[in-house]
Amino acid sequence: MSIVVHHVSKLYGTQKALDDVSFEIFRGEIAGFIGPNGAGKTTMMKIITGCLIPTEGEVKVNDIPVLLRPLETKRLIGFLPENNPLYPEMYVREYLSFIAGLYHLPAKRKRVEEVIEITGIGQEANKKIGMLSKGYRQRVGLAQAIIHDPEILILDEPTTGLDPNQIIEIRNLISDIGKQKTVMLSTHIMQEVEAICHRVILINKGKIIVDDHTSNLSSYTSRSTQIIQIEFLPGNNPEIPVEAFRHINGVVRVVPVKNNMLLIEANSSSDIRKELFDTAVQSSLTILSMAKQEKSLQEIFNELTRE
């Protein structure tokens, strides 16, 4: 089961919201779909779910063209829109039963109870949706998205407005669901992408500018330096020979952070940790820890989407 987007463009009048976008997302993969406001994220998600028609290009879900067989593809997709449209006057269990009826589920009552348990809304199931907190409304929205056991989940800003505890709970829930399904997750929270996504698709001004594994993102930035923090065993040597570390090829700055710690900046593209280790041994220093600092996903995002 997969999502295949092939050369999709979308115009609103003369404005191009999507410009020749192509990517694939596979089963068991949680893909973070990120970008600035107005980059085209929601438009792309609505095209995949069949809510919008592309100006050019094609989208397939499990090899089924969305435009040609929309009802069939909708049965394969669970969609949680950003605004999470619910019926506040309906009770939770009543609403989920209504959604299950739309999908003509054979064991409707049983499935409603299953998703109530999966999403952890049992204690709120007899309340009206309008009485629920934002966190529980998001859970109800997620419950309706998975009630027909879809193979693909499209989640647009699923943790917007939640408190830190609720965010962790929803993330864990998405991670569990994503083990067996294809998940496309749009979010502005970079820590969320780092926590649960296997892959990042970064869109800016309607174009895909990065599509790669999260661990490879630092290679797309312009940082030419590396920063390494070294902590030594206290009392091992009364004075750290800072000059010895400054003379390592590529090192441009050595900053003593405290008596037993150095922050080292190098402009070399190669990893200099072996040279640092050898210098420490020659100086009779025992290293407790050595950590190479990487750019955060937020910094990478800012750099790649900057004007």
Domains and CATH numbers, the chain: 2-220 (3.40.50.300), 226-300 (3.30.70.100)
Note the pLDDT of residue 214: 81
> What is the model's pLDDT at position 120?
87
Residue 127 has pLDDT above 80, yes or no: yes
So what's the pLDDT on residue 269? 63
Q: Report whether 265 contacts 292 (CB < 8 A).
A: no
Q: What local confidence, expressed as pLDDT, does residue 1 receive?
A: 59
Q: Is the pLDDT of residue 166 over 70?
A: yes
Q: For residues 145 and 263, what is the distance between their CA atoms, to the nearest angstrom? A: 48
pLDDT at 202: 93
Residue type (1 letter), 197: C
* Structure letter (DSSP) for residue 128: B
Q: So what's the pLDDT on residue 114?
A: 94
- pLDDT tens readout for residues 176-214: 888 888 999 998 888 888 889 989 999 999 999 999 988
Task: Give the pLDDT confidence of 77-99 residue by residue, as tens digits.
Answer: 999 998 888 999 999 999 999 99
Predicted pLDDT of residue 49: 94
> Rounded CA gap, 146 and 182, in Å?
12
Confirm whether pTM is higher than 0.85: no
Both tokens of 74, joined, read: 């909708």
**Is residue 36 within 8 Å of 305, Cβ to Cβ?**
yes
Q: What is the pLDDT of residue 298?
A: 78
Q: Taking a C-beta distance cutoff of 8 angstroms, is the pair 62, 17 a contact?
A: no
271 contacts: CB under 8 Å, gap ≥ 6: 226, 292
Q: Is pLDDT of 144 > 80? A: yes
Cβ atoms 50, 60 nearer than 8 A: no
pLDDT at position 128 over 90: yes
Q: Is residue 217 within 8 Å of 203, Cβ to Cβ?
A: no
- Segments of the chain assigned E as strands: 2-12, 15-26, 30-34, 56-61, 64-65, 77-80, 152-156, 182-186, 199-204, 207-213, 226-232, 251-258, 261-266, 287-293
pLDDT exceeds cutoff 90 at 125: yes
Q: Report the percentage of the chain scoring pLDDT > 90.
A: 48
- Asked whether residue 237 carries a pLDDT value surpassing 60, the answer given is no
What's the mean per-residue pLDDT of the chain?
A: 88
Element (H, E) at 158: none
Q: With beta carbons less than 8 A apart as the criterion, state whether 185 and 174 touch.
A: yes
Determine the Cα–Cα distance for residues 33 and 44; give it in Å rounded to an integer.
10
According to the model, what pLDDT value does residue 296 have?
73
- φ and ψ at 48, to 5 degrees? -65, -40
Mean local confidence (pLDDT), 40-55? 93
Q: Report, in this order, helix, strand and coil percent for the chain, each rounded to 5.
A: 35, 30, 35
pLDDT at residue 60, rounded to an integer: 95
Per cent of the chain over pLDDT 70 is 94
19 burial (CB, 10 Å; 0-12 / 13-18 / 19+) is middle
Give the model's pLDDT for residue 238: 59
The confidence score (pLDDT) of residue 111 equals 95
